Chain A
Amino acid sequence: MAILVIAEHDNSTLKGATLNTLAAATQIGGDIHLLVAGSGCQAVAEQGAAAAGVNKVLCVDAALYEHQLAEDLALLVAECGRDYSHILAPATTNGKNLMPRVAALLDVAQISDIIAVESADSFRRPIYAGNAIATVQSLDPIKVITVRGTGFDPVAASGGSAEVVTLSAVSPAGLSSFVSEEVAESERPELTSARVVISGGRGMGNGENFALLEKVADKLGAAIGASRAAVDAGFVPNDMQVGQTGKIVAPDLYIAVGISGAIQHLAGMKDSKVIVAINKDEEAPIFQVADYGLVADLFSAVPELEQKL
């Protein structure tokens, strides 16, 4: 039996989350095939062929898959996936959108957001905003799984030389079409893979004040995140939200600025190696998880920090 991994990409580059997912596949064991479905995605297939552990790349290059619409992609993955023991995708918004649809088409359950592989059919996953860890066994012949990136160190992006096989598209579902997108352009590292993350909360007061964090981020090569309160208040866009219902991060260094530390926020960052909290309220729950807490007004502490780095 072999494992099918669904590549996350933007038609030109293979996204890092795929490498973490390949690491989970490697732990399960067996031949690993990587499905690259997209439009004009040959370069992605080549990058996939170079990733460690990949035995074969299945490339489906068709306009139909340009925007990764779940209705169309699920038909393809369910068709290609029938003969595999496991189908894995990163627990990104793409993976979360696609994989339950695939699972239902195959009449199997999905195991969401795994953080560890116990055996070929048992996996660990956080529940209740990470306040409990469940070990779940799949009883299905095909295990459909999404993988939380922070649970697995990525495999090497280069060194491999898998063969690339071309497959054709399946019939379109004809249910949905792409209208538009607003993609945040940023020179900064991706939030989910950055070595350092600095996040702002409601305490930032407004969107302009995030410039204070940007200056620190520039010096540290950090990505910038936010609490839900900061996003809801319109300070920053939704893709910056860290937490149970936003992005899950586990950088070497996480700096929380003006964030109180609600359980839903902690769910997204408490596996960071070192946590720093800057908050003017010494009772703020964030200090209960912080390695280094600084009780101070952020409007003086953050500029000073930037200067002293």
Chain B
Amino acid sequence: MKVLVAVKRVIDYNVKVRVKSDNTDVDLANVKMALNPFCEIAVEEAVRLKEANVATEVVVVSVGPKACQEQIRTALALGADRGIHIETDTMPESLSVAKLLAKLVEQEQPGLVILGKQSIDSDNNQTGQMLAALTGMSQGTFASRVQVIDGSLNVTREVDGGLQTLALKLPAVVTTDLRLNEPRYAKLPDIMKAKKKPLDVKTPADLGVELRDHTRLLKVETPPVRQAGIKVASVDELVEKLKNEAKVI
């Protein structure tokens, strides 16, 4: 079974973003970028499936400007076999990403597609579900456990009330939650090897997809900052403040 993993280049999760002074967007100039943490978990899961002889090949794909190739190389260093970069001038919106991925699915015919449940920049949590809809595949979102059993996929999902397990028909789309696995660190020899692994570049036109804007970003603002309050010296003072000043107990 071939596994396709979609990975996104995002701001490093340790970096606190700043909003541009003209409020058109956040300022990403000279900011450290990285593989979206949920995508890292997706790559790790695919590589583990290969190590367990369930997957035969792990293909990673990223959509976006040329710099995305850095994140594809990172995924290759983590153990993916080959990369595909779908080059666009800007980062397209989720539905467009899903349409590009759907075309790629048609060409590559993977048995399983793994994505992150959300990217930590736009926090949309939608691309995987959209891809599943466009390709008519089943979906196991927010997965904390994935098992191939008798040609079907059992996915345990982190839901509001606890955990839910579904049986999915293959091919399927899975999106990763935090506790699916703990990604490995790439070792230097793997990073060197990754440089030689194949990386194809395609354009939306190659895939026959015409991108269209469905949304417009009107402005980006900094949320009201919370002011630090006071330090209380004792539990007694805390209880007194909560009762008489804040009046919340």
Contact = CB atoms under 8 A, between A and B. Distances in A.
Contacts of B139: 70-71, 97, 101, 176
Contact of B215 (A93, A101, A131, A137): A137
Interface stretch (A52-60, A155-163, A285-293): A285-293
B127 to A, nearest CB: 8
Contacts of B168: 175-176
B242 A97 contact: no
B160 A294 contact: no
Interface in A262-291: 263-264, 270, 273-276, 282, 287-291
A122 B219 CA distance: 11
A270 B228 CA distance: 12
Contact of B95 (A103, A183, A276): A103
Interface bin, chain B: 35 or more
Interface string B119-146: 0111111111111111011111110100
Interface stretch (B13-21, B54-62, B76-84, B184-192): B13-21
Interface residues of A, number: 90
A105 interface: yes
Interface string B223-235: 1001011111011
B154 A179 contact: yes
A109 B228 contact: no
Contacts of B161: 181, 183-184, 239
B133 A247 contact: no
A294 B240 CA distance: 13
A239 B160 contact: yes
A196 interface: yes
Interface in A46-68: 67
Contacts of A97: 129, 139, 141-142
B124 A309 contact: no
A255 to B, nearest CB: 9
A181 B162 contact: yes
B235 A295 contact: no
Contact of A122 (B137, B178, B218): B218
Interface in A73-101: 74, 92-94, 96-101
Given A70-B141, A101-B129, A129 B242 contact: no
Interface of A: 67, 69-71, 74, 92-94, 96-105, 107-113, 122, 126-140, 173-184, 192, 196, 220, 228, 231-232, 237-239, 244-245, 247, 252-253, 263-264, 270, 273-276, 282, 287-296, 301, 304-305, 308-309
20 contacts: A98-B129, A100-B125, A101-B130, A101-B132, A103-B126, A104-B98, A104-B134, A109-B214, A110-B130, A111-B215, A112-B124, A126-B223, A139-B213, A178-B167, A196-B249, A239-B162, A273-B248, A275-B226, A294-B238, A308-B236
Given A101-B132, A135-B221, A282-B231, 15 more contacts: A100-B126, A100-B127, A103-B95, A104-B129, A108-B95, A127-B121, A128-B17, A128-B120, A137-B215, A139-B216, A174-B169, A176-B169, A274-B242, A291-B246, A294-B238
Leading 6 A-B pairs by shortest Cβ distance? A100-B126, A109-B214, A291-B229, A100-B129, A104-B133, A175-B138
